Structure 1
């Protein structure tokens, strides 16, 4: 395993943190330090909430660490449920972040044990959500850094490309790799997303357990949220 200070350096895309970047990181921390409220879980298109605030969706393979990452972003352990059982989250969960942004926790994909009817229902729900949400600003697509982009991830990318939804790849669990392995998966991932129509070119490397990349991801998300209103 690599030194965690070195891992943080790998997670930063531009080396030294400028004053402007430091300001964004602090503002991002404050965004998630305030009220985060569960709104509803949607099991079908009829139960989706009405359009309102900008939305940011989180997607990824089952057990990619999505719930852990969302909890790390929010600085609390009870926002998203974590489980060792693949495919536990089978609905779209909507959270209001400080009345400035809606965070959407999407069901994990790629779980082999799910019945076909559940997979079909998941596909209909996700396709309908992606195609029908003008407030959806971006999808954060989580990829396990130990495995890199897999075929199920590519299928999700195809779906996002067709729906014209911008998505940003975030590598998870980089604390499980050494520095050479991190650099290798980073280069492979950047090479692959450079060929994608809707992929956002900025890659973020994270470890929910060690806090690596979490401030940078918050700063990225901050720029998609509504501006803070004056008191």
Structure 2
């Protein structure tokens, strides 16, 4: 699936900071190289290979794992599909808040992408909420090959108490995580700039949070190259 050509106003194009002489500064050149590495990484085949509903059912820890977490309906499945160029690699549950399993995807032996169950669905039974928190914390605390969690936040709505609770859980588990705004195509530029400022401030208040906040849209492709680049950089490090 080709990347959409359009870009959100908040996203800089690779090479947009060229000097008058046509030479890119080192930072712009590095960003362009990282985006190319990300493009090549996610041009590789990606396939679902395992699902686990209990901590004792996890596949053996091998290679680098990158996990994706977020509230129900935050657009996690759509983002994973956009990242990998598949229309239906990850599927959203027909009943929000009821998916309790960790889904594992093999990115051509380069990394494992882990789709964590959505949290914060108000109508989910208490037993499911408890199961989710227990499974998530056990996974985060006990997975030595987990390199980073990308925590998704909907750019169109306010930060929820469940979001900050998950950030605190990640802090306690000492797992590095990075905040990613989703659905930015539904946000006007001024509102998006304000949301980015708010979320960057939130990241600064949490010890395990990465300071770089990404803004993405699975609809128009905004921020997808930057997210791919971030993952490629993690694997290269």
Q: Same fold (TM over 0.5)?
A: yes
Alignment of 1:44-59 (within 5 A): 44-59=54-69
Q: 1:12 Cα deviation (Å)?
A: 3.6
2:82 to 55, 72, 75: 72
Give the number of aligned pairs: 223
Contact 2:107 2:113 in 1 (8 A): yes
Moved over 6 A (4+): none
- SS in structure 2 of the partner of residue 223 of structure 1: helix
Q: Deviations over 1:134-181 (max 9, x none)?
A: 101100000000114211100100100000001100001111111110
- SS in structure 2 of the partner of residue 160 of structure 1: helix
Alignment of 1:33-52 (within 5 A): 33-52=43-62
Q: List gaps (5 residues or longer) in structure 2.
A: 19-27
Q: 1:19 Cα deviation (Å)?
A: 2.8
Q: 1:82 Cα deviation (Å)?
A: 2.7
Distance 2:167 2:226 in 1: 23
Q: Root-mean-square deviation (CA), in Å? A: 1.9
Q: 1:40 Cα deviation (Å)?
A: 0.4
Give the structure 1 partner of residue 17 of structure 2: 16
Q: 1:73 Cα deviation (Å)?
A: 0.2
- SS in structure 1 of the partner of residue 133 of structure 2: helix
Q: Deviations over 1:24-55 (max 9, x none)?
A: 21221111111212120000011101111111
Q: List gaps (5 residues or longer) in structure 1.
A: none
Q: Do the aligned partners of residues 20 and 73 (structure 1) sit closer, same or farther apart at CA in structure 2, a change above 3 Å counting?
A: same
1:105 and 2:115 correspond: yes
Q: Deviations over 1:71-91 (max 9, x none)?
A: 000011121003563124320
Give the structure 2 partner of residue 178 of structure 1: 188
Q: TM-score, normalised by structure 1?
A: 0.91
Q: TM-score, normalised by structure 2?
A: 0.88
Contact 2:83 2:228 in 1 (8 A): yes
